[in-house]
Amino acid sequence: MAASAETVEPAEGSRPAASRRPGPAARQPIVLLGALSALAALSLDMYVPGLPAMAAGLHTTASATQLTLTACLIGLALGQLYVGPLSDARGRRRPLLVGMTLYTAASVLCALAPSIWVLIPMRLVQGAAGGAGMVIATAAVRDRGESGTATARLFATLMVVNGIAPIAAPVIGGQLLHWTTWRGVFLVLAGIGAALLLTSVFLFGESLPTDRRRHGGGSRALIPVYRRLLRDRVFVGCLLGNGLALGAMFGYISGSPFVLQDIHGLTAQQYSLVFAANGTGIVLGSQASRLLVGRFGAHTLMLAGLIGVTAGGVGVLLSTLSGAGLPVLLPLLFVNVACLGLVLPNAGALGLAKHGDAAGAAASLLGPTPYVLGALASPLVGLGGRHDAVPMGVVIALFDALALGAFAILTGGTETE
């Protein structure tokens, strides 16, 4: 893949002359950054085809199994909130290695969980550890110090690698269920964590030199940083637009296994193929963004993406209310998910554009917000039980409409390019 040849390194001119020539360890392979940022998709999507079997095997309800998604989402948010600012002060490499070690151990414990009430807290720990890799990968991209358009292109390139995860994860999970249980899926996740840890040891060089780190003040020093971020209308617009749109996607992730398998009769393997097709849409959308961002700008493309996800989300709601079949529902889900490919890279580029001096702190707000909102959405879609699709439609449409409204209102009339 062509993207594997790219590297991310600190920008020339952003540090003293004596340190401007980066050694080999300072370069960050795009493939590694993409894999680290894809941990959320891997942790959330790979075992999703097995949720109905998990509910049966652990003698619990659909809502209880969806709490394993909620716990992971909360963990991903908390991990990013903590590690992002920490990496601004202590560098990117050490927190990453600790996080990957903890992720591997937590994945093994998930596989061994004897009950749903043991699995849920282990998923919280797994998510928190995975959040470390995600926020550090985002901050490492911003460490490069390029313009907003260039950063948007880099995020779009990153999503080629990152986009493989939501495509491959449910397919792999569905195929694994041919010869193992959901516990075996968690063991595979443990192996992925171990591989990322080993790769990071050798290939993840420090992208934030000592002279560019935030020193002193402890956690109190973050208060003015967060205050500055939250007073930036463009940043908050990206925060809410991106977060609510992804919250809708997490409603889809947690609700669709039951809607498509229990209501519409798909097998776990067929469901994984549908999920993968929608993931392909995100990749296609992100690459369209990479090609078009220089012409139309990140703000315009993100707005177009939010209009698309909202149109698809309203269509999904109308489809569930009318009882339409798969020929109607599946294309609408594809539109809803695929348009995120225009939202995600441009939200990162716009949100971080004016905050290169606090990239870790900014990423620690941008990154966790979708998982907090997703943690709210996941149990809501299960309120109607395993045979009611309407709650999923309501959550997707509502979250997407709020995302579009928040972004349009907060960023309208502001200078964003």
- Are 344 and 242 contacting, i.e. CB atoms less than 8 angstroms apart? yes
Backbone phi, psi, residue 28, to 5°: -115, 110
Q: How far apart (Å, rounded) are the C-alpha atoms in residues 49 and 18? A: 53
Which two tokens mark 102?
Answer: 């903890």
Task: Give the largest Cα separation in the chain, rounded.
Answer: 67
Beta bridge partners of 8: 28
> Contact 182/56 with Cβ under 8 angstroms?
no
pLDDT in tens, 132-186: 888 888 778 776 655 556 666 776 666 666 666 766 777 788 888 888 888 999 9
Q: Compute φ and ψ for 89, nearest 5 degrees.
A: -90, -35
Residue 245, Cβ density class (10 Å: 0-12 exposed, 13-18 middle, ≥19 buried): buried
Query: Does 121 score more than 90 pLDDT?
Result: yes
| Terminal alpha carbon distance of the chain | 30
State the Cα–Cα distance between residues 247 and 372, nearest whole angstrom: 8
- Distance from C-alpha of 162 to C-alpha of 36, rounded to nearest angstrom: 8
Beta strand ranges found along 218-361 (DSSP E): none
| Half-sphere exposure of residue 287: CA atoms within 13 angstroms, side-chain side | 12
Residue 13 included in any domain: no
pLDDT in tens, 401-415: 999 999 999 987 665
Residue 323 lies in a domain: yes
Would you state the pLDDT for residue 8?
42
Q: What is the pTM of this model?
A: 0.68
| Number of Cβ atoms within 10 Å of the Cβ of 101 | 15
What is the C-alpha separation between 105 and 161, in angstroms, rounded? 25
Q: What is the mean pLDDT of the chain?
A: 81
Residue 118: Cβ-neighbour burial (10 angstroms; 0-12, 13-18, 19+): middle
Q: Considering its fold, how many domains does the chain have in total?
A: 1
What is the pLDDT, as a whole number, of residue 124?
95
For range 277-294, the mean pLDDT: 87
Dihedral sign of CA atoms 161, 69, 252, 344 in order = negative
- The answer to whether residue 44 is domain-embedded is yes
Specify the pLDDT at position 216.
Answer: 55
* Average pLDDT, integer, range 291-296: 88
In this prediction, residue 6 carries a pLDDT of 40
The model's pLDDT over 349-384, given as tens digits with 9 standing for 90+, comes to: 888 777 766 667 777 787 778 777 877 887 788 776
* Domain CATH code at residue 310: 1.20.1250.20
Span 40-53, average pLDDT: 82
- Model pLDDT for residues 306-338, shown as the tens digit of each residue: 999 999 999 999 999 998 889 999 999 999 999
Asked if the structure places residue 5 within a domain, the reply is no
Domain that holds residue 69: 24-411
What is the pLDDT averaged over residues 47-72? 84
Find where tokens 């709601």 sit. Answer: 317
pLDDT-above-90 percentage for the chain = 31
375 lies in some domain: yes
Stretch (H or E) spanning 410 = helix 390-411
Mean pLDDT of 208-226: 68
Where do we find the tokens 């369209």? 288
Of 91, 188, 103, 106, residue with least CA distance to 140: 91
Give the C-alpha separation, 193 to 129, whole Å: 10
Token pair of 371, please?
Answer: 């998982």
- Which of 20-29, 231-240, 313-322, 391-400 is predicted with the least confidence, judged by mean pLDDT? 20-29
d(CA 416, CA 393): 32
| Residue 54 binned pLDDT confidence (cut-offs 50, 70, 90) | confident
What lies within 8 Å, CB to CB, of 46 at 6+ separation is 169, 170, 172, 173, 185, 188, 189
Between 52 and 122, name the one with better pLDDT: 122
| pLDDT score, position 91 | 82
Please count the CA atoms within 13 angstroms of the CA of 7 that sit on its side-chain side.
15
The answer to the question of residue 12 being in a domain is no
Asked if residue 7 belongs to a domain, the reply is no
The pLDDT of 14-23, averaged and rounded, is 39
Establish if 9 belongs to a structural domain: no
pLDDT above 60: residue 207: yes
Output the pLDDT for position 15.
40
Q: How confident is the model at residue 210 (pLDDT cuts 50, 70, 90)?
A: confident
- Span 207-236, mean pLDDT? 75
The amino acid at 116:
I
* Cα–Cα dist 221/191, whole Å: 38
